[in-house]
Structure 1
């Protein structure tokens, strides 16, 4: 019998039996697969046919913007972990930019993240939830398939998020939200801007998210160990700038509620740098750090 760690008792996820995170099957998802294939074809075929340095520059700027402000600060550190406070209008902008990454709607992304987070902290979980297969097999699973648990858990998302009409709208229309920037880019520079500013950006965001997830749970340095967890987070130093600090995943597993992910000297964390700047401007407050979180008896320091 698996017992629940103390730190999970206030988690959004509630399971009828803890063993249910091991019982399920992976099924091909036509919609998920078609989304990535369509964007990838647009990026490769359309991108090559219309390449220009200006279009490539738009790809770099737009990808960095949605990863930094959207995925890291909006979807992850704010919506999912609520690790800092900000005005509602700013939260909406950041979460909207997070939707532009192309992974899922805000509510779907939150539920996916929380299920994976909960399962990984247990002694055992389904290999889909812990990136537990070979590189290519995991890529197929994560990019083209979905996990169907025999006994899906209840996800108790707080009413502030679950009943928010803006988030509900984004959840229903998250794929369609690529159309507004596509239209603007087409007007400004034609199909080249669209292929690079939308298709290539989404492809990089989706595939990059999987790549970091795979390596951050299988390779890399560890400063902390969560005793009894099915999988440990790993720090991937050389991708810290590309991921806006999200690749300090061992730190994140240790202190999931911390707004700062790069905790030590030399651990570059662009998301944290922007939060510090926003705090100086009075745009964010009550930023949570590891010292603000509850002590976790299952956390121990290890050599890295």
Structure 2
């Protein structure tokens, strides 16, 4: 039976009693076409390309840029990832609901489904081996097809135990059931204001860019880029993908995130811009959020090793007890 690092003992993903090996539970399975997910993205992409060209308008493009930036910042980065999944800061429930609702507008999945998908991948990548689907290990064309149009069906999948603050929440359960339909009111509003141009650019192009961009950054952030830290024993290391920090709202600092997944700040080193963190700090000054967790607030991880001597700036100070220095 494979020994798990201490940091996985309290993970949402748990090995089933009947499974003798935690690695086998995330490495044996097959990738199959998922029709609903595939048709959803394909229809949005067709609407974005065909409709966007046929009904081009500069106001539609402006709506696309503005709405995409807002849902990626407020929804995906801050709401879904830093709050719902990692609970890295505290805020009033109304604000949490608003941020997670914005995350649904990205068009990836419902909140509960996204937590399950994220946590299975996170758990698998920390083990010595996992399925290529979970590791983004295949070439980019295969990985694009797998991640955008397919699903992984594991032979003996582990349990995913979602805490009641998410799994039993009525609003999140409603969003999970209706996450595709949540785009319909906006489509009607866009059509009433700007016609088909606003629908194709404000909805179809936004969803296409959000879903495709999420895959693209995920692929590069697990295969190409710099590293400040190494998680020993993990078969997949996160990578920092520079030059796209503004486009990803700070999510590109994935090596930092693999090292300190519970941190509300992802850009930890000088020059690592993190718009999600800027937004949280602004909300903190307004009294809307509090208890922002940083690397020094997290428990030590024996498997985490530092690869370079560069110091952390500002408020982020990493006690030496959290890291083992490793020379390159």
1:161 aligns with 2:130: no
1:114 aligns with 2:93: no
Aligned partner of 1:182 in structure 2 is 187
Aligned partner of 2:229 in structure 1 is 224
State the aligned residue count. 304
Select which of 277, 281, 295 maps to 1:276.
Answer: 281
Aligned partner of 1:297 in structure 2 is 302
Q: Where do 5+ consecutive residues of structure 2 fail to align?
A: 309-327
For 2:2 and 2:217, locate their aligned partners in 1 and report how far apart those are by CA, in whole Å. 29
If asked which structure has higher relative contact order (CA below 8 Å, sep 6+), I would say 1
Indicate the SS of the match to 1:26: strand
For 1:151 and 1:282, locate their aligned partners in 2 and report how far apart those are by CA, in whole Å. 46
For 1:145 and 1:195, locate their aligned partners in 2 and report how far apart those are by CA, in whole Å. 25
For 2:11 and 2:57, locate their aligned partners in 1 and report how far apart those are by CA, in whole Å. 48
For 1:65 and 1:180, locate their aligned partners in 2 and report how far apart those are by CA, in whole Å. 17
Question: Contact 1:62 / 1:201 at 8 angstroms: preserved in 2?
Answer: yes
Indicate the SS of the match to 1:265: coil
Select which of 126, 132, 145 maps to 1:127.
Answer: 132
Aligned partner of 1:11 in structure 2 is 11
1:80 aligns with 2:79: no
Coordinate RMSD, CA, aligned: 0.8
Residue 167 of structure 1: how far off its partner (Å): 0.3
Aligned partner of 2:41 in structure 1 is 36
Select which of 45, 62, 66 maps to 1:61.
Answer: 66
Residue 181 of structure 1: how far off its partner (Å): 1.0
Deviations for 1:163-201, whole angstroms, at most 9, x for unmatched residues? Answer: 000000000000011111111111110010000000000
Residue 265 of structure 1: how far off its partner (Å): 1.1
Aligned partner of 1:267 in structure 2 is 272
For 1:71 and 1:270, locate their aligned partners in 2 and report how far apart those are by CA, in whole Å. 12
For 2:235 and 2:257, locate their aligned partners in 1 and report how far apart those are by CA, in whole Å. 15
Aligned partner of 2:315 in structure 1 is none
Residue 36 of structure 1: how far off its partner (Å): 0.6
Q: Where do 5+ consecutive residues of structure 1 fail to align?
A: none
Aligned partner of 1:287 in structure 2 is 292
Aligned partner of 2:324 in structure 1 is none
TM-score between the two structures when normalised by the length of structure 2? 0.92
Residue 260 of structure 1: how far off its partner (Å): 0.1
For 1:2 and 1:206, locate their aligned partners in 2 and report how far apart those are by CA, in whole Å. 34
Residue 2 of structure 1: how far off its partner (Å): 2.3
For 2:90 and 2:279, locate their aligned partners in 1 and report how far apart those are by CA, in whole Å. 14
> Bigger shift: 146-155 or 254-263?
146-155
For 2:187 and 2:135, locate their aligned partners in 1 and report how far apart those are by CA, in whole Å. 35
1:242 aligns with 2:250: no
For 1:150 and 1:3, locate their aligned partners in 2 and report how far apart those are by CA, in whole Å. 20
Deviations for 1:96-146, whole angstroms, at most 9, x for unmatched residues? Answer: 000000000000000000000000000000000010101100000000100
